Amino acid sequence: MVGWRWMMGVMVVIMTMAGRLCAQSTEPTAAMPVLQALRWEESVLHIVTSGKVTFHTFTLREPLRVVIDISPCTLPKEVIQPEGDTPTAVERLRWAQFKEGVVRVVLDLRENTQYALSTAASGTEAMLALGAAPAEAETKPRPSAPAAKPVKPPSPPAELVQMEWQHDKDSARLSLKLSRKVPVRLRPLKEGYSTLLEMPQVKLGTDLPADWKVNHPLIEEVQFSPDEKGARAALLIRTSRAAALSVEYDRQQPVITLAVNRPRNAHGKLSEKHIVIDPGHGGKSLGAVGRGADGVVYEKDINLAIAQRVQALLLKEKATVTMTREDDSTVDLYDRPKLANEKGADFFISIHCDSTPKPNSASGTTTYYHASDPDGRALAQAIQKHLAAVTGLPNRGAQTDTAIYQSGFAVLRRSEMPAVLIEVAYINNDKDRAKLKDPKFQQKVAEAIVAGLKAYVEGEREEQVAEGQEAHILPASDKKETEPPVQIPEQL
């Protein structure tokens, strides 16, 4: 009798637990919150979501921008149209699905601007105030959100009052004297060896001569132009070959110096150089995955196939080549640049395939360099120039890796030599993936990488800039009617 009662008790417990499990399994899975609206109210950006989320903000430089990561969150099917007028301190507002479950909102700033982020108690709205704390909302912001200190109204544009060149065979220095100190930034453009020196809040001084000239074998063209509002200027520098550009600030005087130099290891012949080729991922690290009607493709396999072709071409050039992996083996992330450093290599080239959370949402080729490294930027421009000519895909340009991660890519950050990371194409884009799988395309890519590297070291074949040839600097107002002023493009 006792045994029977015990068995009945056990059965009751089992049935109760089963019922609870069934009830839990029938509960609907909560939908991920969706980004609903972006709305400007004067200098305050309101970010609204359909459900409770977490807002995390931080600042990135080169170029200067404020980043807000929203999680868990996804983008809606329909395109969001920001409401209200964008403040003058903001160059552009953009947003994207950074990764699964994270929406990233980015404010590209014209100059360093204070900001404060507060969140509604509901967790469905954040207010990012530029220059001051956001206005009071119906729900009180979190106590931990610090209020930004009041800032003075924007200063009038600084004047560019003097320009002076100093140069020798392998370098040139352009000193720009301003009426006051202002921040500037360098941005590589997609077209060849073109770089933009952006100068927010700068206008051309009235006492400057109508024409400036400089003789230099590295410099092909220099143009100066303000924007239509006259409150932002740009200096466009086109060089005849890969060149290392950097900006120096005078600590005492409002003087900015643009240095144009022959980059590191850009001398001699390619045959004299030691190159470390890094096929990204491998072994247990599959990398990005491409899926389609033709099956599954792993990034690690495409990376190795292209890297082996690059290796073969470089060996034909009599260069010294070291591979971080020769087969489908697992290599620690930090061991890759460590190997290049221990070998004393001249260059580090990491080969990858790009991907996005949503298939077929992006396409193209990108070459990354670390932070604002002048030599890495020059190498990225040289390789990207040649890749863009053969891939038949959108040219996404040479870009800093801090646009992706605040500290950049580990393999680039830890390399002690000019280093780049190439995202050949998007493996989860049907068109890009078809190309990536094609051996002929892989060979074209490999040839372009080697051609770009050779151009960095030895110069372009078409480079015919003679010593003493004049490169002109002309204000937009003094150009011929047939020559359009410099267009300041959108952020890449």
> For the ranges 249-253, 414-418, 482-486, which has the lowest average pLDDT?
482-486
User: In Å, what is the CA distance from 351 to each residue of 304, 415, 428?
Assistant: 8, 15, 16
Q: Output 304 or 470, whichever has higher pLDDT.
A: 304
Other residues' Cβ atoms within 10 Å of the Cβ of residue 10 = 10
Match 């120096």 to its residue by tokens: 248
pLDDT over 60 (residue 219):
yes
Q: Output 279 or 8, whichever has higher pLDDT.
A: 279
- Most confident region among 9-18, 385-394, 458-467 by mean pLDDT: 385-394
DSSP SS3 for 225: strand
| Radius of gyration (C-alpha) of the chain in whole angstroms | 27
DSSP SS3 for 466: coil
Tell me if 183 sits within 8 A of 65, measured CB to CB: no
Residue 13's pLDDT is 53
User: In Å, what is the CA distance from 5 to each residue of 12, 16, 18, 421?
Assistant: 11, 17, 20, 71
pLDDT over 90 (residue 384):
yes
Q: Output 229 or 82, whichever has higher pLDDT.
A: 82
pLDDT over 50 (residue 486):
no
User: In Å, what is the CA distance from 111 to each residue of 155, 304, 437, 479?
Assistant: 11, 42, 44, 29
* Banded pLDDT at 318 (limits 50, 70, 90): very high
Residue 183's pLDDT is 82
pLDDT over 50 (residue 97):
yes
Tell me if 130 sits within 8 A of 87, measured CB to CB: yes
Cβ burial of 23 (10 Å; 0-12, 13-18, 19+) is exposed
**How many whole angstroms separate alpha carbon 273 and alpha carbon 69?**
42
Cα 254 off chain centre by: 29
* Kind of pairing between the strands at 347-354 and 419-426: parallel
Sheet holding 255-261, edge to edge: 202-204, 158-167, 171-178, 255-261, 244-249
> For the ranges 92-101, 317-326, 438-447, 450-459, which has the lowest average pLDDT?
92-101
pLDDT over 50 (residue 342):
yes
Cα 13 off chain centre by: 58
Residue 478's pLDDT is 41
Using CA atoms in the order 388, 393, 399, 401, what is the torsion angle rounded to 10 degrees? -130
> For the ranges 197-211, 279-293, 344-358, which has the lowest average pLDDT?
197-211
Tell me if 49 sits within 8 A of 69, measured CB to CB: no
What length does the chain have?
A: 492
**How many whole angstroms separate alpha carbon 313 and alpha carbon 307?**
10
Residue 389's pLDDT is 95
Tell me if 319 sits within 8 A of 274, measured CB to CB: yes
Q: Show the tokens assigned to 446.
A: 């490999």
Cα end-to-end span (Å), the chain = 81
Residue 31's pLDDT is 85
128-174 per-position pLDDT tens digit:
887 643 333 333 344 444 555 565 566 678 888 888 888 877 888 88
Residue 100's pLDDT is 85
Q: Which helix (H) or strand (E) holds 365?
A: strand 365-369
Residue 4's pLDDT is 54
Domains of the chain: 35-130 (2.60.40.3500), 158-265+464-478 (2.60.40.3500), 270-458 (3.40.630.40)
* Banded pLDDT at 476 (limits 50, 70, 90): very low
Residue 8's pLDDT is 60
Residue 411's pLDDT is 94
Q: The whole model's pTM is what?
A: 0.67
pLDDT over 60 (residue 475):
no
Mean pLDDT score, 88-117: 82
* Percentage above 90 pLDDT, the chain: 42
* Banded pLDDT at 207 (limits 50, 70, 90): low
- Most confident region among 104-113, 175-184, 230-239, 426-435 by mean pLDDT: 426-435
Using the CB atoms, write b or e for 407-439: b if 16+ within 10 Å.
ebbebbbbbebbbbbbbbbbbbbeebbebbbee
**How many whole angstroms separate alpha carbon 277 and alpha carbon 308?**
9
> For the ranges 197-201, 288-292, 446-450, which has the lowest average pLDDT?
197-201
**How many whole angstroms separate alpha carbon 388 and alpha carbon 192?**
9
> For the ranges 92-101, 135-144, 316-325, 420-429, which has the lowest average pLDDT?
135-144
